[in-house]
Amino acid sequence: MILEIKNLIKEYDNITPLKDVNAIVNKNDVISIIGPSGTGKSTLLRCINRLEDATSGEVIFNGKNIYDKNYSITDVRKKIGMIFQSFYLFNNLTVLENIMVSQIEILHKTKSHAYDTAVSLLDRFSLKDKMNNFPHELSGGQKQRVAIMRAVAMEPEILLFDEPTSALDPMMVNEVANIVNDLHSKDLTMMIVTHEMNFAKKVSNRVFYMDEGIVYEEGTPEEIFEHPKKIKTQEFISKIESFEKEINKIDFDLYYFISEFMVYVAKRKLDIHRVNIVNLLLEEVIVNEIFKNLSSNDNIKCQIQIFNNKLYMKFMNLSNFNFDYKNTDELSSSIINNNFIEKKEDKNKLEISYLFNI
């Protein structure tokens, strides 16, 4: 066991997000923390590295309570790193300097040691060509990789991630999952607040569902996502799960497909206007883009998710990839134009994804 959280309470003036959190974290665990917004997930992370102080309770890290008077906050932060949703890179420093600065100032490493560590991380995370660029010259995904490298350079024992995929487009989720898996193979322990169920499934060995100020239910990804025991967990999971189905040219029946999809939509409790939009978008994309371009031996997997008033559709294993990249103007109908956010094709992975507002 690397961390034990005991009776942790955090009160603000008007609200007590953490009422009595108890949990054990084992070395090399990758724990996804899920739950409705406002249930204290970020607060819990902040109390674990003392970015905020809990009102009462204990966080025992390697046998010592980090809330003891003689435990220095700097020591806590050195050993328990955090990656923030909005990255917080130093905008006036280059990528390389961002990764070097805390090693020099906090860990008191020599400049050349910090440089070597930074360059080897940049190499490992395929960002060496950007080392002399400034953060504003990077994409969201690249900024996040820098934020991760900066934290990893501090050689933490635990890394906390606050919604690492939420500021990125949904297509970047796999990339972040690969990074987390890489860090896991190097023995890091991680706790990750996330809204992405597929991401959580890919990276974690345990899942905490938070609600009512406690770790309300915990288990393996399979236990929490496939067989949640408690009613609130069940309700939450049914809201975030995705609809998955295979499509092929030979026996695809659009109307059957849509009727099955509508069972999924019904669980989301959307108003009738939104249900219509979703229905039309699905029909447009599948008929006018996917089905038209499907070859007879294609058997593709389709994954659809409705989340935060967005419709996300992903089609995988498209061997016959001859879509023209269409921008919003060329997309087939006004319903698509009005709701379109983005479309991405990845020919190497044989994937195409769409994101719409609904």
Binding site for ligand ADP (CB under 6 A): 12, 15, 17, 35, 37-43
Please tell me the distance from the alpha carbon of residue 167 to that of residue 143, in angstroms, as a whole number. 11
Query: Which residue number, 38 or 140, has a Cβ lying nearer to ligand ADP?
Result: 38
The least CB distance from residue 193 to ligand ADP, in Å, is 6
Query: Which residue number, 216 or 291, has a Cβ lying nearer to ligand ADP?
Result: 216
Query: Which residue number, 236 or 243, has a Cβ lying nearer to ligand ADP?
Result: 236
Please tell me the distance from the alpha carbon of residue 236 to that of residue 34, in angstroms, as a whole number. 9
The least CB distance from residue 204 to ligand ADP, in Å, is 17
User: What letter does residue 52 receive in the DSSP assignment?
Assistant: S
- Picking from 176, 139, 175, the residue whose alpha carbon sits closest to that of residue 161 is 176
The least CB distance from residue 9 to ligand ADP, in Å, is 13
The least CB distance from residue 308 to ligand ADP, in Å, is 13
Q: How far is CA 292 from CA 30, 85, 178, 233, 296, in A?
A: 41, 39, 33, 40, 11
The least CB distance from residue 97 to ligand ADP, in Å, is 30
Q: How far is CA 267 from CA 255, 301, 309, in A?
A: 19, 22, 14
Query: Which residue number, 40 or 170, has a Cβ lying nearer to ligand ADP?
Result: 40
HSE-up of 319 (CA within 13 Å, CB side)?
A: 8
Query: Which residue number, 211 or 298, has a Cβ lying nearer to ligand ADP?
Result: 211
Lookup result for tokens 């008191």: 108
Lookup result for tokens 């099955």: 260
